[in-house]
Amino acid sequence: MKRFFLCTRIYFIFFILVFFLVWLKYFLKIELKADEVKKNFDIEKIFKRGKIIAILDKNSIDYYVYKGRPMGFQLEMLRKFSEYIHLPLEIIAEGKYSNAIELLNTARCDIIASNFTILKERRKHFTFTHPIFVTKQILIQQKRNTSDSLFIKSVLDLRGKTISVKTNSSFHSRLINLSDEIGDTIFIDNSPEYTCEELIKKVSEGDILYTIANEQLARRNATYYSNIDISMPVSLEQQTAWIIRNNTPFLEIIINAWLKKFVNSEFFKAIYYKYYESDKQNEIFKSEYTSINGNKISDYDETIKKYSAVIDWDWRLLASLIYQESKFNHDTVSRRGAFGLMQMMPLTAQKFDVDSSSTPEDNIRGGCMYIKWLDNQLKDRVKNPDERIKFVLAAYNVGLGHIFDAQALAKKHGKKYEVWDNNVEYYLLNKSKPQFINDTLVRNGSIKGKETCALVRKVMERFHHYKNLVKE
């Protein structure tokens, strides 16, 4: 019943927006140019597609993996927004500005969630959302004696100096204006291959002399690198925001309505402290288990890689399943008696020569042998190997019998019995309802499939984050 009312609410909002769009077009005479059709992929088409797609940059604040968990300030904001509009969230990791804008303008994403400085000249190319931060641009340099000619004490000292900044950034535009203001040349080293954080690291290590960052990022990185100076602003206060396509007025309305409340919420204050001010972030930044510093998810990565090859899975998919089952804690025992990294039930584990005293490697081996067995049982029923992964994950959690029942119900009701999302998934989710459980096709009894369907979704979603952030 709760799902019914949720769906009703979503469709009501959808039809109201469509009606409003028609009203605007015919009563306010909004005309759309033919070459802007893709740009007008507005909220009604996003709802029809069934997900909101956003671009994030990989860095120690906005988007990374730590001990198997996808994290980040912008990621947490986007998750809250996706909850607000009741649509799943898909993340594209793209740090190159030109690529990100291309994806946005061709409707392959809907939002670029980064701290873009709001500049008048940029409004020609995209739309800014409601502001998220007020910030300043800060010069990053090494700490030096103030008498050192390399130490910048005022903007006039920038004459003849070379500043390295990210290509197409607001920092580049600011340096051009600053050069005019001081009446002398400031040399700009455009660095398309480096992020702001990577340039700050280069300053710390002495590879470059200067770069510029927004104040919040500068302050956070000053806690990572004790030898950098962030005392000199090179701009007045500026606002930052996300960006969306031009000519998507309803997406803009919805995002702005949400942001105006969200940036004043306790949750926003909590995640701001978590990522920008907490000492814990320094620990994460220096950890070997973060994608910021390397490619390590857990202590068991090599074993996971070894046995994922046996089942022909990407090792990051198997890692995502293990995180979901045990969060890489081999000592975990569930209320039902499932144990170890892969949370095998005792009777199932016994078939693959595994018990509660087995080593982590044997637990992973046994779990993978079970996955391989499940895959063989499902091969003739689900021929697409990528689609079959979702069925295997579901069967791993709830058993094959319930999956077979859900497939039979899907086939009977004209759904795609070889497709998981919104097809077989639906019947497993509703398998406890009388109209389905009393069907003669159901041979394995009632099951509340909510937990199983959530597991499949979470494992696949985390796998997508791992693919974005962790090397194959």
What is the average pLDDT across 435-448? 91
| Percent of the chain predicted with pLDDT > 90 | 85
- The arithmetic mean of pLDDT across residues 129-140, rounded, is 97
- 67 touches 323 (CB < 8 A): no
State whether CATH 3.40.190.10 applies to domain 34-131+242-286: yes
- pLDDT, tens digit (0-9, with 9 covering 90-100), for 379-414: 999 999 999 999 999 999 999 999 999 999 999 999
**How many Cα atoms occupy the beta-carbon half-sphere of 141 within 13 Å?**
23
Q: In the chain, what are the domain boundaries?
A: 34-131+242-286, 137-236, 301-469
- Mean pLDDT, rounded, of the chain: 91
d(CA 75, CA 469): 13
Span of 38-42, 79-83, 96-100 with lowest mean pLDDT: 38-42
Tell me the β-bridge partners of 117: 240
pLDDT single digits (tens) 100-117: 999 999 999 999 999 999
The candidate with the shortest Cα–Cα distance to 13, out of 40, 44, 41, 53, is: 44
pLDDT of residue 9: 58
pLDDT digits (tens, 9 = 90+) for 212-229: 999 999 999 999 999 999
Q: Return the amino acid letter for 395.
A: A
Percent over 70 (pLDDT), the chain: 92
pLDDT band at 41; cut points 50, 70, 90: confident
Instruction: Tell me the pLDDT band of 302, cut-offs 50, 70 and 90.
Output: very high
Q: What is the pLDDT of residue 13?
A: 56
* Residue 140 DSSP class: E
Tell me, yes or no, if the two domains 137-236 and 301-469 fold the same way. no
Q: 318 versus 21: which is more confidently predicted? A: 318
Residue 3: is its pLDDT beyond 80? no
Question: What superfamily in CATH does domain 137-236 come from?
Answer: Periplasmic binding protein-like II (3.40.190.10)
Residue-level pLDDT at 121? 85
Which pLDDT score, from 0 to 100, does residue 8 have?
56
Q: What are the start-end ranges of the H helices in 399-449?
A: 400-412, 425-429, 434-437
Task: Supply the pLDDT for residue 191.
Answer: 85
The answer to whether residues 238 and 99 touch, using CB atoms and an 8 Å cutoff, is no
28: pLDDT strictly greater than 90: no
> What predicted TM-score, i.e. pTM, was given to this entire model?
0.89
Q: What is the CA radius of gyration of the chain?
A: 26
Q: How far apart are CA 291 and CA 296, in angstroms?
A: 7
What pLDDT shows up at residue 131?
A: 97
CATH 1.10.530.10 correct for 301-469: yes
pLDDT score, position 293: 85
pLDDT digits (tens, 9 = 90+) for 304-324: 999 999 999 999 999 999 999
Mean pLDDT of 194-210: 95
